[in-house]
Structure 1
């Protein structure tokens, strides 16, 4: 049986009964998760930390043991903070599942001509589902992370809600849209109402070794952002050369392989066409990359699949929302329509640029996450 948020477990000291809720915090070695431990302790929780070992650097073609989020120094930074705060620290080896559920899915998606966001899969399959499973096995009431987001509950429906972090410049609700009701009911986000500067100030005041540690960038398992090189060299992905074509299907050049391109790309095409040309589409079956003008990049809408609803049980009628079609995109106004087989059609108020298959689309109303899913492709006309 799941205890409600804030309910506690009894323990005894000198025959007197006390209550304390146990929380397992995912500690990456960075400042955000470290301050999360501190804040939860200040709120009266019994806190332990857990660092998730996701891969060995050698397995992903990285020889420098100090690079990426799984380096020995990251584990040591997390352990140092845990010792300073007097809490237990675990290291869980999830490398087998990370390779299957994140890295290989990333490679397969690129092979299919899509552009995936593996951070979303990592949250979906590793950081929340598997860590929560381990936490429950060890007797913890909640898990917590250093994400900038907030969890709430709708008193009328009883559904757990996901809201944006108060610091709009750091909000991470977009990469958390896959969280289930079970996961939301057992997850705490201590940083949800805070700014990054406030967090660094706390870390400096407490003397944390990682107080000024820079935030991780790009995909953790791809060295130097060279996705194509990683896919070919490490994952053995074969991406044969093929034809550049225009909208009418006419051949206008040769490409180096689908994995070297993404929708909206202009630079790095490897040849000139007498005018600026952009990647509009990739088709695995024909092994073609479609090029066109900047104006042709804009779409009236898109179709989204594998939708996870958070604020509602299901979409039964059109709904006005704002939507993000990639992490760095500003929200734009749209209407979402239910389709058969659980898919959703999104109609933008104004056409949007470079809608990319494989990316996530997340729907909002104000700071509330309604739900989200994976983009199948753009729709040219509504």
Structure 2
């Protein structure tokens, strides 16, 4: 059982115990105790092992006092730095918006849990993610689908985990709501109010990407960036465009009489191109690095896509050569982010990384 020290993984462990499973806890360590990251204020003062994503003292406390299960600590600090944090930085320096949580689930957390379980000859791995194990009769596929609690659904963040791996992963909370989870935890006397919850990248809990990247940017860059409209007319200057993302409106640092949004971050020329809401809409998109049965076999039924975890899946059709067309224009087509495809039953059929607009034509 992958444990974070949070309420969801704790309740999942309890449910598995009550169902008759022999449960072993495991926490994947991804930060060293002296990691400072890019945080400020109170967040900077907290050691990384006391963050919501990997709260070691809380895991120890819960396993010993409430769950009564053995647990192990699995060190993945170097891999996390190399495969997640460094790739995250590289993405922004290439002018795209990476998605570290999907990468972390696929490359670090679930992979690590599966590898450890296999070494111990343990049949299944479980996590506290909100997603449903699902079998599609129509397409004869095992996989995952959106959770009953759509507000908490995390199928999007699991979309880069290969199908053969997902067959070995259980999601006890797939048919639970968050309110029900809290109610159950309180009934078991678990200290719900003392447990931290984090729905963002663990190293960006202050929601300040630019600050996180600032020191590295200052080290290899000099001079301001130009901010222009879509016609190339200069609007203003900002210290850096690194950390900005397509569709962003606030925190740019330039004033304008009308609402304007980031359309493109041109790293090579140090230019941020702004546009109206209409200017950032797309109807067509293309992906790279496709993963999932959608790209391996004939799939029947309607196709839907999400570009963000919190958005409703919208209809789309395949156009060939990894190109797709939406039924309506959408502002979520952001290069570097993940496009996750679903069927009529909200089952994940596949995913891919969104290409820049110039690669879509």
**Same fold, TM exceeding 0.5?**
yes
Partner of 1:22: none
Query: 2-side partners of 1:317 and 1:370: how far apart?
Result: 9
Q: Deviations over 1:1-43 (max 9, x none)?
A: xxxxxxxxxxxxxxxxxxxxxxxx0000001100111111111
Q: Deviations over 1:147-190 (max 9, x none)?
A: 01112334677642211111112111011111212211211001
The counterpart of 1:117, out of the listed 99, 121, 129, is: 99
Contact 1:57/1:64, CA 8 A, preserved across alignment: no
The counterpart of 2:3, out of the listed 7, 16, 27, is: 27
Correspondence 1:188 to 2:170 = yes
Which secondary structure state, in structure 1, belongs to the residue aligned with residue 101 of structure 2? helix
> CA distance change for structure 1 residues 210 and 273 in 2, over 3 Å: closer, same or farther?
closer
Partner of 2:340: 362
> CA distance change for structure 1 residues 236 and 106 in 2, over 3 Å: closer, same or farther?
farther
Which secondary structure state, in structure 2, belongs to the residue aligned with residue 374 of structure 1? strand
Larger % of strand: which? 1
1:278 to partner: Cα distance? 1.7
Contact 1:111/1:237, CA 8 A, preserved across alignment: no
Partner of 2:40: none
The counterpart of 2:267, out of the listed 259, 268, 284, is: 284
Contact 1:322/1:334, CA 8 A, preserved across alignment: yes
Correspondence 1:375 to 2:360 = no
Correspondence 1:206 to 2:185 = no
Which secondary structure state, in structure 2, belongs to the residue aligned with residue 59 of structure 1? coil
Query: 2-side partners of 1:107 and 1:86: how far apart?
Result: 40
> CA distance change for structure 1 residues 381 and 362 in 2, over 3 Å: closer, same or farther?
closer
Question: Which has the higher mean CA deviation after the structures are superposed, 289-298 or 55-64?
Answer: 55-64
Q: In the TM superposition, what are the counterparts of 1:221-370 in structure 2 within 5 Å? A: 221-233=203-215, 238=220, 240=222, 241-310=224-293, 312=294, 314=296, 320-339=302-321, 344-366=322-344, 367-370=346-349
Which secondary structure state, in structure 1, belongs to the residue aligned with residue 316 of structure 2? strand
Partner of 2:116: 134
1:268 to partner: Cα distance? 2.6
Which secondary structure state, in structure 2, belongs to the residue aligned with residue 323 of structure 1? strand
Gaps of 5+ in 1: 1-24
1:303 to partner: Cα distance? 0.9
Which secondary structure state, in structure 2, belongs to the residue aligned with residue 201 of structure 1? helix
Correspondence 1:37 to 2:18 = no
Which secondary structure state, in structure 1, belongs to the residue aligned with residue 348 of structure 2? strand
Structure of larger gyration radius: 1
Contact 2:50/2:56, CA 8 A, preserved across alignment: no
Contact 2:79/2:108, CA 8 A, preserved across alignment: yes
Query: 2-side partners of 1:110 and 1:117: how far apart?
Result: 11
Query: 1-side partners of 2:250 and 2:203: how far apart?
Result: 24
> CA distance change for structure 1 residues 129 and 291 in 2, over 3 Å: closer, same or farther?
same
Aligned length: 351
Question: Which has the higher mean CA deviation after the structures are superposed, 219-228 or 265-274?
Answer: 265-274
Contact 1:299/1:379, CA 8 A, preserved across alignment: no
Q: Compute the RMSD of aligned alpha carbons.
A: 2.6
Contact 1:60/1:221, CA 8 A, preserved across alignment: no
> CA distance change for structure 1 residues 381 and 269 in 2, over 3 Å: closer, same or farther?
same
Q: Deviations over 1:25-71 (max 9, x none)?
A: 00000011001111111111111001111102532333322752356
> CA distance change for structure 1 residues 138 and 235 in 2, over 3 Å: closer, same or farther?
farther
Partner of 1:95: 77
TM-score (structure 1 length as normaliser): 0.84
Contact 1:325/1:360, CA 8 A, preserved across alignment: yes
Contact 2:305/2:314, CA 8 A, preserved across alignment: yes
Which secondary structure state, in structure 1, belongs to the residue aligned with residue 206 of structure 2? helix
Partner of 1:10: none
Query: 1-side partners of 2:2 and 2:114: how far apart?
Result: 10
1:298 to partner: Cα distance? 1.1
Which secondary structure state, in structure 2, belongs to the residue aligned with residue 50 of structure 1? strand
